[in-house]
Amino acid sequence: MKVLLTGAAGFIGSRVQAALLAEGHEVVAVDVMLDAAHGPGGVLPDGCHRVDVRDADALGRLLSGVDAVCHQAAVVGAGVNAADAPSYASHNDHGTAVLLAQMFSAGVHRLVLASSMVVYGQGGYRCPVHGAVDPAPRTRSDLDAGLFEHRCPVGGEELSWQLVGEDAPLRPRSLYAASKVAQEHYALAWSESTGGSVVALRYHNVYGPGMPRDTPYSGVAAIFRSSLEKGEPPRVYEDGGQMRDFVHVDDVAAANVAAIGSEEGGFLAANVCSGRPISIMTVAARLSEARGGAAPVVTGQYRSGDVRHIVADPARAERILGFRSAIDPDDGLRDFASAPLRA
């Protein structure tokens, strides 16, 4: 199959390209080489076209003879402040709209879209008395007092986390999240109007070799790594009990290969996760142990708007796409502790 891969030079895109090639696919690789992802003066890999997904003419030329598009290109991270909004809307949302229009013109009917867990907002919670509920927002007074768990909006009971399935409501809480929801909605509308197929892969916390170093847009695993490299202990917010699902980049690449080969029609959203929940404190501890560095420090500090727990249900991806993660976070994080990162 001939696949147009956007964001091919990035952390995830480069591993997706390697996995597609290993499966015998022909890859047309494109990347605009944004400074936020590659640093100033980033070098375009051999064979990769420097193309902005907002450039309709360039996309139109490259889509000739393509069977499927694997769309990884995006501005990522939660955003530093509201001034980042135009960048997210332009690159992620407008870029996806241009890509979909050019796919329609070229007669390309298959799309794999890189989405994210952030579309779920707060995550899933259960009250011991009232069952599954939407959590009440955490108050500043509770956070200042070190009370980090959500409370039931009905009776005020402390809530426990539960797995989030793909049918959960989409409730973005950051600029990036809003852009990923918009991408999914554009793709769904395109699928409905053209009869095309879309698999939206909702990545959870992706980590692994080649991950960007400590920037405002980096994942927490890279931030912890950077602290240890400086001889400093990882600084853990809240009490470290925040639950997440860390999925290795090679598993993410495998999920993309599975999605490209899927015969599922219409629009399908699927979580891409390890299925092995882990606390932020455990992530920091695993990295510290593997590097022989200082033990993590729990600061008790918090960031307004941070999500307490978000853990995915992996069942749909396994049932429909045949994808199941192969790398246990304990093993993957141990390797990640000394893996090369990108500047």
d(CA 244, CA 230): 25
Alpha carbons within 13 A on the beta-carbon side of 112: 32
Closest-CA residue to 286 (of 337, 235, 322) = 337
CA distances from 32 to 118, 177, 201 (A): 24, 21, 22
Neighbour count for residue 311 (Cβ, 10 Å): 22
Return the SS3 of 194.
helix
Return the SS3 of 318.
helix
- Looking up tokens 């147009």 gives 4
Catalytic residues: 176
Angle between helix 220-229 and 329-336 (nearest 10): 40
d(CA 146, CA 144): 5
CA 152 to chain centre: 28
Q: Are strands 26-31 and 110-116 parallel, antiparallel or unpaired?
A: unpaired
321: alpha, beta or left? (left if phi > 0; alpha if psi -120 to 50): alpha
d(CA 136, CA 158): 10
